[in-house]
């Protein structure tokens, strides 16, 4: 499962977008909850803080979470 992202959409947040780590996590959780009906807190741990420091957009981080969770289900 993946969230559709328009071609050419930025991979990182621009300088104007300065959420706290907690706000950024809330965005990711909302996206995953909307698309997969599950909270990120119910899924395997991911490198959220690294992704935040890389300024990855929440939608791209949400896609990584979904891919990793799917792979975890397939290979476990």
Q: Which long-range contacts (CB under 8 A, 24 or more apart) does 50-53 make?
A: 52/21, 52/24, 52/25
CB 62 within 8 Å of CB 32: yes
- Other residues' Cβ atoms within 10 Å of the Cβ of residue 32: 25
17-74 pLDDT tens trace = 999 999 999 999 999 999 999 999 999 899 999 999 999 999 999 999 999 988 776 6
Domain boundaries along the sequence of the chain? 21-75
- Give which of 19, 65, 61 is closest to 38, Cα–Cα: 65
Beta bridge partners of 12: 56
CB 14 within 8 Å of CB 55: no
């Amino acid at each position: 499962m993946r969230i559709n992202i328009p071609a050419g959409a930025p991979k990182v947040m621009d300088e104007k977008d300065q959420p706290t780590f907690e706000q950024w996590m809330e965005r990711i959780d909302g996206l995953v909850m909307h698309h997969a009906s599950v909270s990120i807190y119910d899924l395997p741990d991911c490198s959220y803080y690294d992704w935040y420091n890389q300024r990855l957009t929440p939608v791209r981080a949400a896609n990584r979470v979904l891919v990793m969770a799917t792979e975890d289900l397939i290979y476990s």
